[in-house]
Amino acid sequence: MAAIHITDIEAAINHWRSRVPSPDGVSLAPEIRALAEVYAQMVFRREDVVEEDRLPPDALDAWHAWYSTTPDTPCIAICSTSQGDDLCKGCGRTFDEVQFWPAMGPAEKRAVWRRITLEHSAWRFNRYAERAAEGVSKAPAPAGAA
């Protein structure tokens, strides 16, 4: 089983907080309560990760529901591993990660997402994002406007 990082637990909690806000400022939705228990135990034990199989079923279900709202792949359709690179310049995944992505579980995929996000060197984080921003143009002024 793969490990889930504490930042993903926190992201899942925040997702559920926005979807099911507390009606009275005190009570929590069951999904938040389940994930918050895991989060609190991780903080108490000073753990950065928790094994997926150690999550209580209700917390795992809440985490999977959050995970299903995230992008599945970091691919930006500029794959340099197909050209022989060991590390894709477009998304930052290794050749093996690209090849075995469909067989990976959610926690494994999130671990890869975390690594490439922390490295922040793939084009998806810099050159590609800059190019996409360059393509944005201002709307033309309405006719007759000075």
Span 103-125, pLDDT tens digits: 999 999 999 999 999 998 888 88
pLDDT value at 26 more than 60: yes
Sign of CA dihedral 107, 59, 66, 7: negative
Span 34-57, average pLDDT: 96
Q: How many angstroms separate the CA atoms of 104 and 36, rounded?
A: 26
Helical (H) or strand (E) element with 61 = helix 57-67
- The structure's pTM equals 0.79
Asked whether 40 and 65 are in contact (CB, 8 A), the reply is no
Confidence grade of residue 6 (pLDDT, cut at 50, 70, 90): very high
